[in-house]
Amino acid sequence: MTLKTKLSLFISLLVGLMLLFHLAFSDVLIRKELARQYERFTKSVADQTVKLFSTYRSEGASASPGRTPEELLPLIVQYEPQILEIGIWRMEDGGAPLLVEGTSGYFDDETGKRLLRESAQAMAQAEVPDTDIMRTSYPFALDGVPYRISLAVERIDIDHLSGIHARNELIGAAGIFLVLMGLIWLIIRSVLRPLRAIVRKVGDVAEGRFDTPLEAEGRDELSQLARRVKVMSHNLLRHTGELRAASEENERIKDQLESIIQNTADSIVIIGLDFRLLKVNRAFCQMFGYTEEEALCKDIRELVHPQHSVYEEAELARLVSGELLPPAEEEWRHRCGTYIRVSCSLNALRDAQGEAWGFVSVVRDISSRSQMEELLLRSEKLTTVGQLAAGVAHEIRNPLTTLRGFLQLQQETGKLSLRHNDIMLAELDRINLIVGEFLILAKPQAARFQVKDVRYVLGDVISLLDSEGHLKNAVFHTRFTREPCLVSCEENQLKQVFINIIKNAIEAMPAGGNVTFDIDHPHEGEVAICITDEGVGIPEDIIPRIGDPFFTAKETGTGLGIMVSQRIIQSHKGSMRIASKLGEGTSVTVLLPAYQGEAE
């Protein structure tokens, strides 16, 4: 049912109820008015009769010849057809009525006699054959004598008259109602025409048609509403266009990103907060031999070697809190069970509100690079060993000279000196120490991380290079903290780093100078090793390139020493910083994570 029909029915019902109320109220008023007219009529007849009777009694028959009550009362009945009977009664002692003039046919019954005995005006309805009558008695007095007038009047059919009036009123009301319904329908149709247009416009907007016309020329509320709907439609058209363009752009970017993810050579893994794999790219499947369906059923901790994994709750909690983790080298399990050496960078994924919902890991196969680095490390190690050979030979020659001198002395004297034996044994121990350190550097060893105090590791290297430093007038100074500086490290590799840095420091001072070694805890959970020389320094524009393969500022050098050192420090989850000023010297700082447990 439309709004127009509802309004028409509602207003028509309201008008109909008002007309019915008017008819009912008019009927009540008419009935009351007819009753009042009847009462006024009978009172008037009674008053005229009393007046005539009083005149006759006071003046006698001579005053009005031919106008006696016996003559006048029939005349009144004759000229007033509604009056059926008039009687004048004198009230005797004891209240008994006595008819003195007129007739009493309608008051002979008990009700009529009761009406006559009333002290005030009395009225009662009675039924006689063919009609209904109304009997009324009025009291009056003449010369102190009480009288009553009895009137029998044909009763007016108030119901019949009211029905006629109601029928006429109902016919008129029905005509008015029909006319009003037609007018109301036309008015509502005219008023709601803009609303119908608004409804059509809203329907078009709901179906995505924003450009359909909408007329809004008036100043009433519906016209204002139409104008607002028109503006809303225009804005929706504009915003929908922008959203469509943004959606197409997002879809294009999504396709581009999906293409990049699927076609990149690196494996990309998206991991949920529950450690389950949510998405992998094609490179991951090719690298590790899993299908995408098999990979998405895995927990990341099933793929990563437990000894090299950063996928622990504590580490991931650091990422969720906003901290960045440096790239790490790990071993991930192939479907066949073997492990592949990879470089892995891990970052948190966040939604628009900044809440972390997962992690993304970019994995690169570095097994071939690791082999190459191992070869470079060995090559650099051999180069270092060759460079150390002269210093080691000099360091060994001095104890051997001492041994030879004491042995010749004992041979010539033929005596054995225990004090000389102690000195010779000490010199032999020094030779053994030097040769042992030299062999550690020269002999290939498998990487095995152990907990070591870096002060002792650096101290061993300083002892090994002390002779070379003396040969080139380099003086070593150590400033080690008294607190333990435990780190988890591969001792041989860490010594290789320190040897490279110290040799560079010595070579940077052709005329000699001081090399200072500082070890301290700058921050909790961190150990800093700083090696400072007083050499020629490094130009500022060259510092960023230090560590690039085969880049060196020296006339004789490969550039691999610092590169290998940086790789070693990264594998220890540390970092290396170089600061230098021309003519003042260079400072190399190695930062390593401190071991949190106890020494083995």
* pLDDT, tens digit (0-9, with 9 covering 90-100), for 15-36: 777 877 777 787 778 778 777 8
pLDDT of residue 526: 92
Domain map (residue ranges) of the chain: 3-161, 217-259, 264-365, 370-593
Q: Are 166 and 23 in contact (CB under 8 A)?
A: yes
Contacts of 481 (CB under 8 A, 6+ apart): 455, 519, 520, 521
Least confident of 149-153, 159-163, 209-213, 234-238: 159-163
User: Percent helix, strand, coil in the chain (nearest 5)?
Assistant: 55, 20, 25
CA 231 to chain centroid, in Å, comes to 28
| Interatomic CA distance for residues 266 and 580, integer angstroms | 36
pLDDT of residue 102: 83
Please give the residue that has the higher pLDDT: either 67 or 455. 455
Q: How distant, in Å, are the alpha carbons of 431, 465, 511, 519, 571 from that of 392? A: 9, 8, 21, 26, 29
* pLDDT, tens digit (0-9, with 9 covering 90-100), for 96-149: 788 888 888 888 888 888 888 887 887 777 766 667 788 888 888 887 888 888
- At the topology level, CATH places domain 264-365 in Beta-Lactamase (3.30.450)
Its pTM stands at 0.38
* pLDDT, tens digit (0-9, with 9 covering 90-100), for 311-338: 777 777 888 888 887 777 888 889 898 8
| Interatomic CA distance for residues 266 and 286, integer angstroms | 10
**Superfamily of 370-593 according to CATH:** Histidine kinase-like ATPase, C-terminal domain (3.30.565.10)
CA 140 to chain centroid, in Å, comes to 97
* Fold match between domain 264-365 and domain 370-593: no
Top CATH class of 3-161 equals alpha beta
Provide the mean pLDDT of the chain: 79
Neighbours of 114 (CB within 10 A): 13
Contacts of 433 (CB under 8 A, 6+ apart): 463
Q: Are 380 and 368 in contact (CB under 8 A)?
A: no
Residue 578 carries which side chain, given as an amino acid letter? I
Q: Are 513 and 533 in contact (CB under 8 A)?
A: yes
Q: Encoding tokens for residue 358?
A: 């997962």
For the chain, the C-alpha Rg in angstroms (whole number) is 65
Strand order through the sheet with 585-593: 474-480, 513-520, 526-532, 585-593, 575-581
Q: Are 508 and 560 in contact (CB under 8 A)?
A: no
| Interatomic CA distance for residues 288 and 283, integer angstroms | 9
